[in-house]
Structure 1
Amino acid sequence: MAQKRYGKDYKVQAIKLAKEIGINKAAKEIGVAPSTVNGWVKAAKEGTLDLGIGIHTPDSALSITEELMTLKKQVKEQNKEIKRLKEENEFLEEASAFFANRRQKLVKTRE
């Protein structure tokens, strides 16, 4: 079964509706599974779903501590990805040098 994609605006409106009338009622009204709407609400609270400027109220905005924790988590994940990419790049450089050297040896033996 193909997974249906929803646009940012649709999700924002669904989250607003869920906050007003509740997740289950909102899900039923828009024809989406409650777990999907719940996931969007949770992602918005965690800051992983960008809702745009002016969407958060003081009640729904992250506290400074929560935002700091989220940013630290993102930095940690990005540092991990940078390390992995550097290791891959190093490996590719070594492999490239190996094959270039081997090719030079083949060319010399043919001469």
Structure 2
Amino acid sequence: MEVKMVQKKVYDQEFKVQAVKLGREIGFSKAAKELGINVDTLYGWSKAVREGRLDLGPGTHTPETAMSLTEEVQKLRQRNRSLEKENARLKEENEFLAEASAFFAASRRKSPKV
């Protein structure tokens, strides 16, 4: 039995940007077909643009797609709160692991060697 290894294609930032721009101009299905990529991949990049994870560069936002300064500040504050929560959780986990490590190290020194 032959096992085929599927290699995941990696696209650079510029390719993704140009692909999304093309998709917006001629339609995502047609652009994906022309570029030889899966349409779902192209939709994923488009979603990344909407979420602010992929920047199309200056002059690409319309008044409808651009965030207001207030919206951007709110989004950044929300992200900051989320990161602060995650940071606090990770600190607690690190404290627990340090205490557990010390406990097991101490119990190991006390136990008789066999």
Residue in structure 2 matching 1:56, options 47, 52, 60: 60
2:82 partner SS: helix
1:28 partner SS: helix
Distance 1:87 1:104 in 2: 26
Q: How far does residue 69 in structure 1 lie from its aligned partner after superposition?
A: 4.0
- Runs of 5+ consecutive residues of structure 2 not aligned to the other structure: 1-5
- State the aligned residue count: 107
Q: Does 1:102 align with 2:107?
A: yes
Residue in structure 2 matching 1:8, options 2, 5, 13: 13
Q: How far does residue 10 in structure 1 lie from its aligned partner after superposition?
A: 1.0
1:35-50 pair list within 5 angstroms: 35-49=40-54
Q: Could you tell me the percent identity over the aligned residues?
A: 48
Q: How far does residue 41 in structure 1 lie from its aligned partner after superposition?
A: 1.1
Q: How far does residue 65 in structure 1 lie from its aligned partner after superposition?
A: 4.0
Point out the structure with the larger helix share: 1
The TM-score, its normalising length taken from structure 1, stands at: 0.73
Aligned pair in 2 of structure 1 residues 65, 86: CA closer, same or farther (>3 Å)?
same
CA RMSD between the two structures: 2.6
Segment drifting more, 55-64 vs 39-48:
55-64
1:4 partner SS: coil
Q: How far does residue 102 in structure 1 lie from its aligned partner after superposition?
A: 1.8
Q: Give yes or no for contact 1:45–1:61 (8 Å, CA) kept in 2.
A: no
Aligned pair in 2 of structure 1 residues 28, 70: CA closer, same or farther (>3 Å)?
farther
Q: Does 1:83 align with 2:88?
A: yes
Distance 1:80 1:2 in 2: 37
Distance 1:66 1:2 in 2: 40
Q: Give yes or no for contact 2:49–2:56 (8 Å, CA) kept in 1.
A: no
Q: Does 1:25 align with 2:30?
A: yes
Distance 2:99 2:38 in 1: 50
